[in-house]
């Protein structure tokens, strides 16, 4: 809002109206009566004059001595008899150079408007510049995905529109930049999606044409005493029931089958086959299970990698030799109570029969125990008997004992296959 020029302030007095100062009885000098509301603008006008002309301007409001009818002195507004509103009575000499002051203020306002317009244009340019860079990056990204090859027409349209964006930016047509940016963005997204779809289709065709390289899928590690020239466990391997056999290296051997060298999906069939092979081998040999999906490019790579961890494998075999894994789950039916302390003391009997014990995740509040025990084969019957006795004592609990299994939770190894 512009400040009202001081030569337009309403001046009122006992005998004078208009823009002329007059004297106040009992006070020396000539005065203006000015509405209090108009003094809200006085300091801003004064600052404008000082800024542009380095003049004294209007005396700052807080220093102006106010005199009024009836001997009022100080800085308080007062009611002037016969006129509505509250007024201040100001020395005329304090309002000198009115024309210069108003010109200065007008120039200041013009300068402020110009500065605001300049800032607005700079902000517009900065926003437009970011849009141009964003669109440019999107176009480059589309090129990297192969869009020029698989969506040539769309990319030609995008390139043409981007050139128009750069031209509009150069002549500061920022609204045009925004309009074209939306168009290019849509073209680029469509081109990129089309290219990715074509690439995926091509990969599928190539995958059908080129079968995966045959590698070695590893199930477990067993001791090797060299008594067999070749040890086979039958045709029950993953991916087509290929032969499962042993590849010796030194005094240990890897139980493998020939299978595609690829990343194996964790399907129910694949997991079942993997575990069945290990369980079968365990009937005759101590086993260190391998994690699911350990496929190696060839026999040489397999031997090289396993050789690096030979010491760990031998230690693991020694640890599980003559032992099996048993699982115990204890479930509390809903709404059932039991003596936790008594149960805790009795469950120790299972732990005492095991070499090691590991706790599994409890998937619900009702599952009060999910544990795995490594038990010597000669103690399996005793362990199962202890579990049965526990079930009879705590009839309100559901106690499930599973196994014997390969020591999946105590000696499973994972090395650098696929």
- Specify whether 228 is located in the same domain as 147: no
Instruction: Please tell me the least confidently modeled range out of 55-59, 134-138, 143-147, 310-314.
Output: 55-59
| For the chain, percent of residues with pLDDT exceeding 90 | 7
Q: What is the mean pLDDT of residues 156-171?
A: 86
Instruction: Tell whether 362 is covered by a domain.
Output: yes
Instruction: Tell whether 410 is covered by a domain.
Output: no
Q: What is the pLDDT of residue 198?
A: 84
Instruction: Tell whether 417 is covered by a domain.
Output: no
Q: What is the pLDDT of residue 59?
A: 46
| For the chain, percent of residues with pLDDT exceeding 70 | 70
Q: What is the pLDDT of residue 318?
A: 87
Residue 337 has pLDDT above 80, yes or no: no
Q: What is the pLDDT of residue 218?
A: 92
- Specify whether 103 is located in the same domain as 16: yes
Instruction: Tell whether 413 is covered by a domain.
Output: no
Q: What is the CATH number of the domain that holds 346?
A: 3.30.70.260
Q: What is the mean pLDDT of residues 93-102?
A: 52
Greatest mean pLDDT among 71-75, 111-115, 353-357, 414-418: 353-357
- Specify whether 96 is located in the same domain as 40: yes
- Specify whether 67 is located in the same domain as 10: yes
**Which is higher by pLDDT, 321 or 87?**
321
Which of these three, 79, 109, 139, is where a domain ends?
A: 109
At 206-225, the pLDDT tens digits run 665 555 667 899 999 999 88
- Specify whether 100 is located in the same domain as 146: no
Which of these three, 320, 340, 372, is where a domain ends?
A: 320
Q: What is the mean pLDDT of residues 12-20?
A: 48
- Specify whether 167 is located in the same domain as 239: no
Instruction: Tell whether 98 is covered by a domain.
Output: yes
**Which is higher by pLDDT, 36 or 251?**
251
- Specify whether 228 is located in the same domain as 310: yes
The tally of domains found in the chain comes to 4
- Specify whether 386 is located in the same domain as 370: yes
Q: Which residues pair with 18 in a beta bridge?
A: 11
- Cα–Cα distance for residue pair 185/188, rounded to 1 Å: 5
Residue 264 has pLDDT above 80, yes or no: yes
- 123 within 8 A of 96, measured Cβ to Cβ: no
Of residues 190, 201, 179, 173, the one with CA closest to residue 138? 190
> Binning pLDDT at 50, 70 and 90, where does residue 245 land?
very high
Which of these three, 207, 227, 256, is where a domain ends?
A: 207
Mean pLDDT of the chain: 75
**Which is higher by pLDDT, 48 or 358?**
358
Instruction: Tell whether 86 is covered by a domain.
Output: yes
Q: What is the pLDDT of residue 27?
A: 55
> Binning pLDDT at 50, 70 and 90, where does residue 21 land?
low
CA dihedral 255, 261, 265, 267 (to 10 degrees): -40
- Specify whether 176 is located in the same domain as 220: no
In order of 280, 290, 291, 371, 409, the CA distances from 294 in angstroms are 18, 7, 6, 26, 17
**Which is higher by pLDDT, 294 or 84?**
294
- Specify whether 65 is located in the same domain as 123: no
Q: What is the pLDDT of residue 150?
A: 80
Residue 257 CB partners (closer than 8 Å, separation 6+): 216, 217, 219, 237, 238, 242, 243, 244, 245, 277
- Specify whether 150 is located in the same domain as 161: yes
> Binning pLDDT at 50, 70 and 90, where does residue 325 land?
very high
Helices 174-209 & 152-170, crossing angle to 10 degrees?
Answer: 160
Domain that includes residue 81, residue range: 6-109
- Specify whether 327 is located in the same domain as 316: no
pTM of the model: 0.47
Instruction: Tell whether 151 is covered by a domain.
Output: yes
């Amino acid at each position: 809002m512009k400040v009202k020029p001081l030569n337009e302030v309403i001046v009122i007095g006992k005998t004078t109206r208009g823009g002329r100062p007059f004297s106040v009885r009992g006070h020396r000098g000539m005065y203006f009566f000015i509405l209090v509301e108009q003094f809200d603008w006085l300091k801003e006008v004064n600052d404008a004059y000082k800024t542009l002309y380095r003049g004294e301007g209007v005396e700052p409001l807080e220093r102006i001595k106010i005199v009024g009818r009836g001997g009022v002195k100080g800085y308080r507004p007062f009611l002037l008899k016969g006129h509505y509103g509250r007024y201040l009575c100001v020395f005329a000499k304090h309002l000198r150079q009115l024309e210069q002051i108003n010109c200065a203020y007008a120039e200041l306002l013009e300068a402020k408007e110009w500065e605001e317009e300049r800032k607005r244009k700079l902000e517009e340019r900065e926003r437009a510049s970011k849009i141009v860079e964003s669109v440019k990056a999107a176009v480059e990204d589309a090129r990297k995905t192969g869009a020029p090859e698989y969506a040539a027409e769309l990319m030609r349209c995008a390139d043409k529109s981007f050139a128009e964006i750069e031209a509009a930016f150069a002549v500061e047509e920022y609204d045009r930049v925004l309009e074209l940016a939306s168009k290019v963005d849509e073209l680029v997204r469509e081109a990129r999606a089309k290219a990715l779809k074509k690439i995926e289709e091509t990969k599928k065709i190539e995958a059908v044409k080129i079968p995966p390289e045959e590698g070695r899928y590893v199930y477990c590690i067993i001791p090797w005493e060299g008594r067999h020239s070749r040890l086979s466990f039958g045709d029950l391997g993953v991916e087509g029931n290929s032969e499962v056999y042993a590849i010796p290296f030194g005094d240990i051997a890897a139980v493998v089958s020939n299978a595609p060298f690829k990343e194996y999906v964790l399907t129910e069939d694949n997991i079942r086959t993997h575990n069945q092979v290990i369980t079968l081998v365990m009937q005759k040999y101590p086993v260190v299970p391998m994690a699911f999906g350990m496929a190696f490019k060839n026999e040489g790579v397999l031997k090289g990698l396993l050789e690096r961890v030979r010491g760990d494998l031998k230690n693991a075999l020694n640890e599980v030799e003559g032992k099996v894994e048993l699982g115990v789950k204890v479930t509390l039916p809903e709404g059932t109570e039991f003596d936790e302390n008594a149960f805790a003391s009795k469950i120790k009997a299972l732990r005492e029969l095991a070499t090691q014990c590991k706790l599994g995740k409890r998937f619900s509040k009702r599952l009060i125990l999910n544990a795995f025990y490594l038990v010597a084969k000669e103690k399996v019957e005793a362990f199962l008997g202890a579990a049965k006795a526990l079930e009879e004592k705590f009839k309100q609990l559901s106690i499930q004992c599973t196994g014997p299994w390969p020591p999946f939770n105590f000696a499973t190894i994972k090395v650098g296959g696929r």
